[in-house]
Structure 1
Amino acid sequence: MTDHVTTALHDALAGEAARMTTPEDPWPRFAARESAHRRVRRRRTAAAVAGVLAVLVGVQTNVVPLPGWMPAVAVAAAPSRLTAGPTRGSLAGDTAWLDGLCRQIPGITEPEGLWEIADRGAIRIVFAGDVPGHRLALALLPVRLGLISGWTMAWYGGPAGAAPDRMTFDGTLDAREPVATLFDGSVTDGGFALVVGPPGSAVTINGGAVYTAEGTVVRRTLATSTGAGGVAVVALPPGREPEVATQVTVDGTPYYAGPLNGGWSGRTGEIEDPTPEMLDAAARGARGPGLDNQVFLTFAATALRLSRLHLQDVTLRLLWTGTVNGKAAGLLTLQPSGGGVVVWAFHGDTTLHRFDLRLLVPADGAFERPYAWRLRAEGRDNVTDRVVVVAPPGAASATVTFGGGAPVPVPLDASGSGETTVPPGSPAVVTAYAAGGEVMATTPLHVLEDSADQLPGDTPGTRVTGS
C-alpha cells in the first residue's frame, strides 16, 4: 500500500513539474550586455516540484524574502584585479563621503526583479573623484536576485562636488573587465576622458591619431597616470568628437589597449557625407563596371567612420569596382593630407554591406601596388579559402605565394582583378608584374581580422609597415 501511494505521489509531482514552464536562462545575455556597459541582468532558477516552485518564484524575484537557511547560488566569476586594493581617486581619503555613498546605493531594478545589495558591508568603492565638470564613482557591488548572487561594477555620477545623495546610477560594468574607461562631453562644452586600471598599473590616454606617410599610426599622449595609482584623466576641449584610446601596462608588460567607452553629443555642422560631385570626382579613373552612387556613398561613409577620419581632411579615391558574391564591390582609399593611405574593400548594397579589407600602407607607391583580400562565407564570419586580387594599373600579371611554395599565377580580367585560393590562416604575398616580367610591387595578404574596434594600422594584420 505504501509503495502504491509513493508511486502515485511521485507520478503526480512529476506530471505537475512537467507542466511547469522554466524561465529562459538570461545569464548569457546578461554577460554580453553587461560587458557592453549596459544594466545588470542575471539568471533565475526554477524548481521541479510545483508546491516548492511557487515559493521559489517569489524568492527569485525578491517578492518573498530569502530564508536565512537558504544559501544563494554564486554564478559570476571572481572580479578582476581592477577591483583590488584601496579606493583610488581624489576622494579616496574622504571616508565620510565614501561611507555615505555606500549607505545610499540602491538595488538595481531589471525585468527579472530587483537586484538587491547582498551585503552592504562588502561594497567596495574602486574609484571616487572629481573629473572636469563631474564627480564620478565606480563601485564593486555584491548583488542578489533570489537564489542567484554575484558581483557587478556600477558607475555613479553627479555634478562636481556632489554629495553622496546626489550621485545617480549611470550603468553597470562586468566585474571581470580588466579596466574601466569612460569619456563624455559635447561639441559646445567639451568633456573628459577617464581610465582606471589595476592598482600599480601605468595608464596612458592617447588622442589625435595620425596616419603617417610611412604607414604607421601615431597618437598624441593626452594624459598618463602618476605614481602607482593606475588612474589617468584628461579634460577634452569643445569641438567634434575626439578620438581617444588607452594603453595600460602592468610591471612593464602590455595589459590592455583599446578605445574608451562613452559618447559625445552635438554636431559641428560639418558635411560628413560626400556629395554626388565628390563621388564622381573620386570615381574618375576607377577600373571596372562602376558603382551606383548610393552604394559608393554607403561604402565611403563606412570607411570614413571606421577610419575615424573626416571628409574635409582626406582625399577619397575609388580604385576598382566589380562583383563579389553576386553583390557590387569596390576598392577605395582614404588619404589624409601628407599621410599614409587607408585601403578599404567592401561588397554589398545600401541596406547590407561588409568590409573585406582594411589596410594602412605607406603613401609612397600606394597606388602602384596590388591588393588582395580574403572572403568570408556570405552571411557568416567563417573564413573561406577564396581570395580576391586587384592588380595596379599597368600590371600585366599577378601571382600569390604562400606556404613556402612557388608563386601561383592569378588570372586577371579586363579590370585587372582575379580570384584565387589560399588556405585559411596561411600568410601569403601577392605580387604584380609589368609586361616585361619585372616586379612592380608586392603586398602581404594577412589573415582576416573581423573586428573594427581599433584603427587600420593599429594591428599587424592591418598594416604593411612592421608587419
Structure 2
Amino acid sequence: MTHDLDLALRDSLTSAADALTTPDDPWPHFSRRETARRRVRRVRGTVFAGVLAAAVGVQTNVVPLPSWTPSIAVAAPWAGLADAPTRGSLAGDRVWLDGLRGHIKGLRDSEGLWEVAGRDRIRVLYAGDIPGHRLAIALVPLRLGVFMDWTVMFYKGPVGAAPAEMVEDGNTDARSPVVFWAQGDATNGGAAVVVGPPGSAVTINKGFTYSPQGVIDYQPTTASGANGVAVAQLPPSPVDPGTSAQVTNNGKVIFEGGIVGGWNFADDGSHEVTDAMLAAAVKGSRGPGLEPAILATFVQSALQDSRLSAKDVTVHLRWSGTINGQPAALLTLQPHNGGVLAYAMHGNASSWRTDLRLLLPADKADQRPLAWRVRANGSDAMTDKVIVVAPAAAAAVRLTIDGGPSDPVAIDSSGYGTTTVPPGKRAAVTAFAADGTTLPTTPVPLGSDFGGLPGASPDTRVVK
C-alpha cells in the first residue's frame, strides 16, 4: 500500500512540474557557456522520487555505506575515452598521476555529496603543461548512496604544479566521445585543449570572422598528431574568440562545434550598449518600438551570443511587436565589412527567449523576409506556427513548403504576419515589391539550433 502511495505521489508531482511554464532566459545558457566552472547534476531528481524517507540518510551519504555495498549505475561513460590511455606530457609520470588521484574530491549538489567511488578506478584522460597552466582531465566514478555515476573533472594549476596545487576547475558529462577545456582573457590570451579517442584527428580553429558572403571564415588551425589530442595557444582578445574544433575518428566526424569555456572580457567599456547606439538602431524600424532597457538587453544578448564587440558592429532594429503577450523584436548586427546576423527575441529586460539566430550574406540582407518557428511556452518543442517579418521594400510575401506551390502570407503595415508549417517540413518565404519584382528568398530554419556560433550549422546560415 505504501509503495502504491509513493507511486501516486511521484506521478502527481511529475505532472504538476510538467505543467509549469516559465519564460526562457538565455542569460543562464550564455553564462554556462562562458565559464569553465560548470556543475553537472549527476542524476535527475525523479530518480529519487521513489526512495522512502527512512533511507534519506543513506542516500545522501549522511550515513556512509560499506564499500562492499552494491550500487546502481546511472549510466556508463563513453567507452572510447574510458578505455583510453593517459595522454599529455605527464602521461608517464606515475607518481604525479597517483598523487592527483588522491587529491580529487567528490562533488556536492542538491541531492547530497557524491563521493569518489574508488580512487583506483579514476582514469586520467589527459595531464600536462599547456600555455599558462598545468591541466589534468580525469574520468571519475562518483557515488551517492546506492547510485553510481561518472563525470569528467578538470583540475588546473600553475605550470609545473604538484598534485596538491591543482584546483578543481569544473566538470562535465562523461557520455561524450570528446572532452575539451578552454580559458583566456583580453590581456594574456589563453589556451584550448581537445581530447578525442586515441587515433582520432583533431583540429582547433583559433578565431573567426563573419564574411560578407554569409559564412564563417576560421583562422589557421592547430592539428593534432595521431593520438587524438590538440592543444592551441589563443591570442589575447577583448571578447571570446569563438574557438571551435573538429574531431574525426575512423573517417567519421564525431564532433564539430564550439569549444566553450571561460573568457574574461576586456573591461574597457567597448562592450557597453550605449544610448547613442540604441538611438541609431531604431532609425527606420517598423512596429511600435521597445522600451530602451529591453532593446539594450536584446542587443547585449546578441553581442554575447555572436562573440562580437559593440564598438565593432552596426545594429538595426528591423521590427518590434508582441509575441506570446511579451515585447518582441527582430534585429540585425553587422560587423564592419562582414555578414549580417539576424536575431529574433521576445521577453523583457530580466527574462527573455531567443527565437532566431541566422547569418546572412551582406548583399541585399535588408531586402530579405525573415521567418522563424514558434516554440511552445516553457518548452523547446516546435509548434506549427511561423512568424514572418517582411522587409520595408516588400508589398507581399509568399510561403513555399517542401518545394510545393506558394501561398500568400498576410502582413500588416509593419511587415508582420503569421502562417503555419508542419514541424519538420522545409519551407521558405519570398518577398515581392509593389511592382512585382521578386526580392530574395529565405529558408525557414527547421529547429532551434542555439549552440556554437550563428552560421556554424546549416540551420543558422543562409548562403544564397
Band the TM-score falls in, shorter-chain normalisation: 0.7 to 0.9
Contact 2:356 2:372 in 1 (8 A): yes
Q: Which residue of 1 aligns with 2:426?
A: 427
Contact 1:40 1:152 in 2 (8 A): no
How do 1:228-239 residues align onto structure 2 when only pairs under 5 Å count?
Answer: 228-239=226-237
Q: Which residue of 1 aligns with 2:61?
A: 61
Once the two structures are TM-superposed, the CA of residue 404 in structure 1 deviates from its matched residue by 4.2
Task: Work out which of the two has the higher radius of gyration on C-alpha atoms and give 1 or 2.
Answer: 1
SS for the counterpart of 2:367 is: coil
Q: Which residue of 1 aligns with 2:159?
A: 160
How do 1:20-35 residues align onto structure 2 when only pairs under 5 Å count?
Answer: none
Q: Report the AA paired with residue 370 of structure 2.
A: Y
Once the two structures are TM-superposed, the CA of residue 362 in structure 1 deviates from its matched residue by 0.9
Contact 2:91 2:126 in 1 (8 A): yes
Distance 1:130 1:427 in 2: 48
Distance 2:101 2:175 in 1: 21
Change (3 A) 1:115 1:323: closer
Contact 2:206 2:234 in 1 (8 A): no
Q: Which residue of 2 aligns with 1:304?
A: 303
Once the two structures are TM-superposed, the CA of residue 400 in structure 1 deviates from its matched residue by 0.9
SS for the counterpart of 2:270 is: coil
Change (3 A) 1:174 1:322: closer
How do 1:350-429 residues align onto structure 2 when only pairs under 5 Å count?
Answer: 350-429=349-428
Once the two structures are TM-superposed, the CA of residue 106 in structure 1 deviates from its matched residue by 4.5
SS for the counterpart of 2:429 is: strand
Contact 2:368 2:442 in 1 (8 A): yes
Q: Which residue of 2 aligns with 1:329?
A: 328
SS for the counterpart of 1:194 is: strand
Once the two structures are TM-superposed, the CA of residue 222 in structure 1 deviates from its matched residue by 4.1
Q: Which residue of 2 aligns with 1:456?
A: 454
Q: Which residue of 2 aligns with 1:3?
A: none
Distance 2:320 2:50 in 1: 56
Distance 1:405 1:371 in 2: 19
Q: Which residue of 2 aligns with 1:126?
A: 125
Q: Which residue of 2 aligns with 1:212?
A: 211
Contact 1:209 1:220 in 2 (8 A): yes
How do 1:248-267 residues align onto structure 2 when only pairs under 5 Å count?
Answer: 248-265=247-264, 267=266
Cα deviation, 1:127-161, whole Å, max 9, x if unaligned, reads 11001122111222333344333433322222111
Change (3 A) 1:198 1:212: same
Distance 1:260 1:47 in 2: 38
Once the two structures are TM-superposed, the CA of residue 329 in structure 1 deviates from its matched residue by 2.6
- TM (norm. structure 1) is 0.83
Once the two structures are TM-superposed, the CA of residue 363 in structure 1 deviates from its matched residue by 1.0
Distance 1:379 1:199 in 2: 41
Contact 1:331 1:345 in 2 (8 A): yes
Q: Report the AA paired with residue 38 of structure 1.
A: R
Q: Which residue of 2 aligns with 1:345?
A: 344
Distance 1:391 1:141 in 2: 53
Change (3 A) 1:296 1:253: same
Distance 1:274 1:64 in 2: 53
Q: Which residue of 2 aligns with 1:183?
A: 182
Q: Which residue of 2 aligns with 1:84?
A: 83
Change (3 A) 1:243 1:405: closer
Q: Report the AA paired with residue 322 of structure 2.
A: T
Distance 2:450 2:458 in 1: 13
Distance 1:46 1:427 in 2: 43
Once the two structures are TM-superposed, the CA of residue 114 in structure 1 deviates from its matched residue by 5.0
Q: Report the AA paired with residue 453 of structure 1.
A: G
Distance 1:46 1:347 in 2: 38
Contact 1:283 1:318 in 2 (8 A): yes
Cα deviation, 1:294-347, whole Å, max 9, x if unaligned, reads 222222112211121111111111222333333333221111111111112223
Distance 1:47 1:308 in 2: 45
SS for the counterpart of 2:366 is: coil
Once the two structures are TM-superposed, the CA of residue 387 in structure 1 deviates from its matched residue by 2.1
SS for the counterpart of 1:367 is: helix
- TM (norm. structure 2) is 0.83
Once the two structures are TM-superposed, the CA of residue 174 in structure 1 deviates from its matched residue by 2.4
SS for the counterpart of 1:431 is: strand
Cα deviation, 1:80-118, whole Å, max 9, x if unaligned, reads 412322210011122232233334444555665554443
Change (3 A) 1:45 1:93: farther
Q: Report the AA paired with residue 66 of structure 1.
A: P
SS for the counterpart of 1:268 is: coil
How do 1:271-286 residues align onto structure 2 when only pairs under 5 Å count?
Answer: 271-286=270-285
Q: Which residue of 1 aligns with 2:268?
A: 269
Distance 2:288 2:167 in 1: 57
Distance 1:263 1:419 in 2: 39
Q: Report the AA paired with residue 100 of structure 2.
A: L
SS for the counterpart of 1:298 is: helix
Q: Which residue of 1 aligns with 2:141?
A: 142
Distance 1:101 1:318 in 2: 53
Distance 2:77 2:350 in 1: 42
Contact 1:44 1:148 in 2 (8 A): no
Change (3 A) 1:409 1:353: same
Cα deviation, 1:171-229, whole Å, max 9, x if unaligned, reads 33322122211112333333211111111111111132211111111211342212x21
Contact 2:87 2:126 in 1 (8 A): yes
Are 1:93 and 2:96 an aligned pair?
A: no
Contact 1:288 1:415 in 2 (8 A): yes
Distance 1:364 1:262 in 2: 34
SS for the counterpart of 2:333 is: strand
How do 1:15-54 residues align onto structure 2 when only pairs under 5 Å count?
Answer: 37-38=38-39, 41=42
Q: Report the AA paired with residue 464 of structure 1.
A: V
Cα deviation, 1:339-373, whole Å, max 9, x if unaligned, reads 11111222333233222222111111111222222
Change (3 A) 1:343 1:41: closer
Q: Report the AA paired with residue 143 of structure 1.
A: L
Contact 1:212 1:339 in 2 (8 A): yes
Once the two structures are TM-superposed, the CA of residue 121 in structure 1 deviates from its matched residue by 2.9
Once the two structures are TM-superposed, the CA of residue 379 in structure 1 deviates from its matched residue by 4.0
Mean Cα displacement is larger for which, 175-184 or 161-170? 161-170
SS for the counterpart of 2:139 is: strand
Q: Which residue of 1 aligns with 2:24?
A: none
Contact 1:90 1:128 in 2 (8 A): yes
Matched residues, percent identical? Answer: 48
